[in-house]
Amino acid sequence: MTSSPFATLSTPAGPVPSQAPSWNRQRASQMPSHRYAAPHDRVEVPLTERAWPTRRLTAAPLWVPVDLRDGNQALAEPMDPARKRRFFELMIAMGYKEIEVGYPSASQTDFDFVRLIADTDLAPADVTIVVFTAARRDLIERTVASIAGIRNPVVIHVYTATAPTWRDVVLGRSRDELRELILTAGADVLDLAGDLPRVRFEFSPEVFNLTEPDYVLDVCDAMTTLWDATPERPVILNLPATVEIATPNVYADQIEYMHRNLERRDGVILSVHPHNDRGTGIACAELAVLAGAQRVEGCIFGNGERTGNVDIATLALNLHAQGVDPMIDFSDIDEIRRTVEYCNGIEVHARHPYVGDLVHTAFSGTHQDAIRKGFAEHRARAAADGVDERDQAWRVPYLPIDPADIGRSYDAVIRVNSQSGKGGMAYLLETGYGIELPRRLQIDFARKVQERTDAGGDELSAADLWQVFEAGYLTTSPQAPALVGYQVDQSITELTLRTGSGTATFRTDGLGPVEALTAALAQAGSRVEVLSLHQTSVGGGTDSDALTLIEYRTAGAGEISWAAGRARSVLEASFAAVLRAADVGR
């Protein structure tokens, strides 16, 4: 257990000194950092021991997407009814069981959408609908009117800001005055909706993370008492990090303090609503669940005011990557992304965790080599264990999850630019054309690709790589030696060659066909020494062409080179490769 909620960072050598060590003497910035208070100067958490650092995430919390309310408010152009419905239908298809659908007292569009749910079968019977309202009776009345006759379970979500700055600057209320306002709103909710079947209540002390712990605990306990929270009809206490101001461990301490000290804890669903002002919303949510939270509100890809709400897709897929069922279906993540982008009018970043176009893509040579070897090892383990590759334990370097889990193909896993290595180039040729390159040819080919990318600076596709390969190893000049005809009869090979000096027929006995061709070329004045020969193919199935790759050395030259030949038969492909070598060596 940690002894202090604000322990200093430490290293094996001890605490970090108050002044930077000699190796870190940096020039002071010109930024006025002194204007901002450290988080422990604002909110001191009275927690001397904590359990969250030793806990592990073993089950998914209840996910509650707020894209249709909180995320919608953050859009330059809020969703029209059609887009709102499409987003809602996406959430249903993904398996969300509780969805905050709007702020019905704030706009006619939101009110009408709640009425649509009430008047139709748009929401399955097991989906809980959450409606949001500020703590004012007229707004609460409008909210209750919006859910009249609804068949689904409903949560009426009431909020009020509680932090000192908001009390002083925004609301102009003391602690006691604000407590009275909150309880009055709670009584209004009870009066207007307390007798409605299948309706429960939720309270959010907005800016919880900047509110004094003793005060927010008192207010929350007063609300659960007023609403008579029980295990049979639990109250949701939602504790937002409305504006992130501290490291995630501080938020975890605040949640654990509430988890330990709340009255009627068995009648409370403890919920969190992290924002992402410091870029640590994901960490705050994960640590909050370790600290006792049971429910997480956020937006599917993190939309929301300022830097956004916590990204609940990333949270869910983080669990998936740890072997924990996220309880939400992300098996077609590209369709989910397309729908969210359409509804929000905001493009998902290419590097966004899991869903971005480039998150499963490697350009770096070392990454590509490791991924290629990882795929090969994965296939080999699956074959050895006699299981399908999709059932085999995943341990491919640089890919925390199998892209196929979320509906991605392997086509874009490795892409080639000027930073790429031989492994990535070979992988693209193999997956795009079925060609397996020997390691030494991979090295030679990488140099040719590097020349192309350095000259153009662009990314190369598998088709581009094939063009480089053709130009570097397959293409011959008009003056190249040509095989006019051949006949192989057991140990006898007869070849008719056309070279610069004319056409001649050569007959050998006891040599293989390739050796016979090199001997014929030597007699014609073109010496080619074949050092190694490799067979592969272009494409797959019965329509594939044979591809022969030869490593060779020409007469008088110490440099070793590569050539390739392509034909319908293996023999003719081998002949073509030798003739290509002779052409280059002329």
Q: In DSSP terms, which residues pair with 159 in a beta bridge?
A: 134, 204
Residue-wise pLDDT tens digits, 208-233: 999 999 999 999 999 999 999 999 99
CATH class of 50-344: alpha beta
Q: Is the pLDDT of residue 572 over 90?
A: yes
Across the chain, what does the average pLDDT equal?
Answer: 90
CATH fold label, 482-584: Double Stranded RNA Binding Domain (3.30.160)
Counting every residue written for the chain, the total comes to: 586
> What mean pLDDT comes out for the span 513-534?
90
Between the alpha carbon of residue 105 and those of residues 143, 146, 167, 221, the distances in Å are 6, 8, 23, 27
Which carries the bigger pLDDT value, residue 494 or residue 412? 494
**Which pLDDT score is estimated for 12?**
46
User: What percent of the chain has a predicted confidence (pLDDT) above 90?
Assistant: 68
pTM for the model stands at 0.76
**Which pLDDT score is estimated for 27?**
79
Q: Is the pLDDT of residue 299 over 90?
A: yes
Q: CB count, 10 Å around CB of 537?
A: 18
Asked if residue 181 lies in contact with residue 174, where contact means CB atoms within 8 angstroms, the answer is no
Which carries the bigger pLDDT value, residue 448 or residue 100? 100
Q: CB count, 10 Å around CB of 205?
A: 25
CA atoms of 496 and 227, how far apart (whole Å): 99
Q: Which of 156-170, 282-296, 417-431 has the lowest mean pLDDT?
A: 417-431
Residue-wise pLDDT tens digits, 130-169: 999 999 999 999 999 999 999 999 999 999 999 999 999 9
* Residue 427 pLDDT grade (very low, low, confident, very high; cuts 50, 70, 90): confident
Which carries the bigger pLDDT value, residue 243 or residue 436? 243
User: Comparing C-alpha atoms, which of 351, 442, 355, 359 is closest to residue 398?
Assistant: 359
> What mean pLDDT comes out for the span 279-297?
98
Residue located via tokens 């003391």: 174
* Residue 459 pLDDT grade (very low, low, confident, very high; cuts 50, 70, 90): confident
> What mean pLDDT comes out for the span 77-94?
96
Asked if residue 566 lies in contact with residue 545, where contact means CB atoms within 8 angstroms, the answer is yes
Q: Which of 39-48, 284-293, 347-356 has the lowest mean pLDDT?
A: 39-48
For residue 454 the two structure tokens come to: 């350095």
**Strand residue runs (E) in 109-183:** 128-134, 154-161
Between the alpha carbon of residue 519 and those of residues 488, 490, 508, the distances in Å are 15, 17, 9
DSSP annotation of 311: B
**Which pLDDT score is estimated for 143?**
98
* Residue 184 pLDDT grade (very low, low, confident, very high; cuts 50, 70, 90): very high
Q: Is the pLDDT of residue 4 over 80?
A: no
What is the rounded end-to-end Cα distance, in angstroms, of the chain? 77
Q: Is the pLDDT of residue 6 over 80?
A: no
Q: Is the pLDDT of residue 315 over 60?
A: yes
> What mean pLDDT comes out for the span 39-67?
91
Q: In DSSP terms, which residues pair with 15 in a beta bridge?
A: 10
Q: Is the pLDDT of residue 72 over 90?
A: yes
> What mean pLDDT comes out for the span 398-412?
86
Q: CB count, 10 Å around CB of 391?
A: 8
Residue 519 has, within 13 A of its CA and on its CB side, a CA count of: 15
Report the side by side order of strands in the sheet with 545-554. 528-538, 545-554, 561-567
Return the amino acid letter for 352. H
Domain borders along the chain are 50-344, 365-474, 482-584
CATH fold label, 365-474: Helix Hairpins (1.10.287)
CA atoms of 68 and 170, how far apart (whole Å): 26
* Residue 499 pLDDT grade (very low, low, confident, very high; cuts 50, 70, 90): confident
Please report which helix (H) or strand (E) contains residue 553, including its range: strand 545-554
Estimate to the nearest angstrom the gap between the alpha carbon of 365 and the chain centroid.
21
**Which pLDDT score is estimated for 565?**
94
